[in-house]
Amino acid sequence: MEKLFDHQFHTFESGLRLISVPMEGTKTVTVMVMVGTGSKYETKNINGISHFLEHMMFKGTTKRPGPLDISRELDALGASYNAFTDKEMTCYYAKTSVENIQVAMDIVFDIFLNSKLAEEAVQTERHVVVEEINMYNDQPQYIVAMNFDRLLYGDQPAGWTIAGDKATILGLKRQQFVDYFNTHYIAENTVIGVAGNINTEMVKQQVAAAFGNIRRGTPFSKLAVKEQQSQPQADIFYKKTDQTHFILGFRSFSMNDDRRYPLGVLASILGGGMSSRLFSEVREKRGLAYYVSASQDLRTDTGCFEIDAGVNNDRALEAVQVVMQEIVKVKQDGVTADELERAKSQAVGRTALALEHSDFIAQSYAGSLLFKNKVLTPEEELAKIKAVTLDQVREVANEIFVNEKLNLALVGPFKEAEPFKEILKI
């Protein structure tokens, strides 16, 4: 794929980083501010504060005192806007028409820089966050993902939930938000991404003016993740459901390990679409599932290869067995040259679709800066995928598809775990 965008990167004196990506063929612009903090940067007594703080940032600034002052202005632009918190990143963004770029920048930057974190808003919003946790706890797909992380990492930040537990959320004090805000939302830990039909010099000038007095400091480091496993592990969570949900996964590689590229190709072959091996075997041939897919979960210091499925309760054991059989087939026989080429072609096609959207571009470029401190363009990513060989796919399959890296989290109407544990053998 030829080079599509001439991005411009600038580091301000404060350490704040800006990546601007002109996209002449679009009528939209996305303004995004990323900060390198999330639940893996928390301690147990404040677990959930990153996510809670994300909520608080929309509750009013000195310039826009109340939540309606923020939402009405963005709604009037017809903007798509939101924020999200992950284990290692929190992000705020607005996507709107190019005519509204300066207003969108002003609002997003104001939220990030000048949120009031008012006591009254803290007291009200904590109950909203609790209801969000309650909502997740009613969703088997969320529970199984939460249990899977806990199975892998246990009682350390990597194994905690992003939202935190209800008791902690109800006990957080305003000063804890202020302290976290002032020590984590700092110039050296922040990347701004702006993508769309933009004038890069205007963007740079507006960012410089808005962030002239941004908070400074030394970025917090997160605890190193401890991984210990010597045999297959399973977590079977009893819940009366109409469908059994499970994640069968293997410890694998971090986002900084180039072995993730052949493993990504393997994920595509196994569960990357309706023609994938798992979709064919589990859903089409046997009618065991509605959804089944394979993917990677990539972090700066950990990684996991995951197979997710929602299957018939009465045939859940059979479904896990079929997935295990497909894993063994790949390890023993590898994949075919045709499968490899289709997976590469799929990556090219999906990237081409994503490149039409300014929000994808902003997040892709800003994310590579935040986590790698360098720009890794979509074209460079695709070049690494295209270079994957059959031998590399076989090597990563042999490396991660082993008993001492195998984990199963399952949610459904099952009180006995042993039948599932007995089939977790490669």
Residues 219 and 188 sit within 8 Å (Cβ to Cβ): yes
Could you tell me which of 400, 359, 360 has the C-alpha nearest to residue 381? 360
User: Do residues 12 and 195 lie in contact, with contact meaning Cβ atoms separated by under 8 Å?
Assistant: no
Active site residues: 54
**Per-residue tokens: 155:** 């009682």
Which structure tokens are listed for 339?
Answer: 């499968």
Q: How far apart are CA 235 and CA 424, in angstroms?
A: 12
In this structure, are residues 280 and 237 in contact, taking their beta carbons and an 8 Å threshold? no
Strand pairing partners for 84? 91
Backbone phi, then psi, for 424, in 5-degree steps? -85, 75
Distances (CA, A) of 177 to 89, 132, 172, 174, 306: 17, 19, 8, 5, 34
**Best CA proximity match to 5, nearest among 238, 225, 198:** 198
Q: What is the 3-state secondary structure (H, E, C) of 222-248?
A: CCCCCCCCCCCEEEEEECCCCCEEEEE
Q: At what angle do helices 390-400 and 260-271 cross, to 10 degrees?
A: 90
**Strand ranges in 100-229 using DSSP code E only, listed in sequence order:** 190-196
Whole-angstrom Cα distance, residue 9 to residue 115? 27
Pairwise CA distance, residues 279 & 16, whole Å = 45
